[in-house]
Amino acid sequence: MNKTTAKYRDFVLLALFTAIVFVLGLTPLGMVPLGLIKATTLHIPVVIGCLLLGPKYGAILGAMFGLVSFLSNTMSPAVLSFAFSPVVPVPGTPNGSPLSLVICFIPRILVGVVPWFVYRGLQKLMKENRTAEVLSMAIAGASGAILNTGLVMSLIYFLFRDAYASVNNIPVEGVAAVVLGVVGSNGVAETALAVVLVPAIGKVLLALKRHNSRA
């Protein structure tokens, strides 16, 4: 396969994964309301896409993840949507905050970048062992899920601690414990999905990509 053909193939894959992100993100399949916050499965196609296409296209997919999160929280807000959309007023104020865009986009872009480096680092450590590739993908998937939940909730704590305390009817001093609880509950579920689905789907797609590259 020549470089031009490979480039078009990657563009097609990028478009396909972008479509999957939007379909998931704008339906209950991708953004599951859990009262205060929405759990997500959008990290799965973003991580798989970055493993197939590399960190550059992965960052684009991560940005699409952030865009979908912004749209979902704007059009169908949950209690905590002020942390993901500047259109939703912060509790106690008449306006939203532009800092919500930091939470909405930065962690999600990193989800499309960091797992690729985790995967490549593990594969180099294991001398490109194809047998161990499933393990590398599973750990890369877990890194994406943990990064998403951990960084999002950490930023909420540092940027919107008072507002978070207000909507939870808890003292500001108790926010850290609640945030850790969300990381523990949502994070575990999202990580488990990534550990199972990223290698299961990614291994097949990566094998097809390698086969086409040799054709």
Report the pLDDT averaged over residues 156-182. Answer: 91
25 confidence band (pLDDT: 50, 70, 90): confident
Enter the tokens of residue 31.
Answer: 């953004």
At residue 66's C-alpha, the angle toward residues 80 and 161, to 5°, is 30
CA distance 104 to 86: 10
Range of the domain at 192: 3-214
- pLDDT of 7 reads 86
- pLDDT of 40 reads 77
- pLDDT of 54 reads 95
Position 160 pLDDT exceeds 90: yes
CB 11 within 8 A of CB 57: no
Instruction: Name the one residue in this structure whose structure tokens are 């999002």.
Output: 152
Q: Please give the tally of structural domains in the chain.
A: 1
Q: Is the pTM above the cut of 0.85?
A: yes
DSSP H or E segment with residue 114: helix 114-125
- pLDDT of 181 reads 86
4 confidence band (pLDDT: 50, 70, 90): confident
What are the DSSP calls for 84-102, one per residue? T-TTSPPTTSSS--THHHH
- pLDDT of 39 reads 63
CB 212 within 8 A of CB 6: no
Q: Which of 31-35, 92-96, 105-109, 148-152 has the highest mean pLDDT?
A: 105-109
CATH number at residue 66: 1.10.1760.20
- pLDDT of 1 reads 65
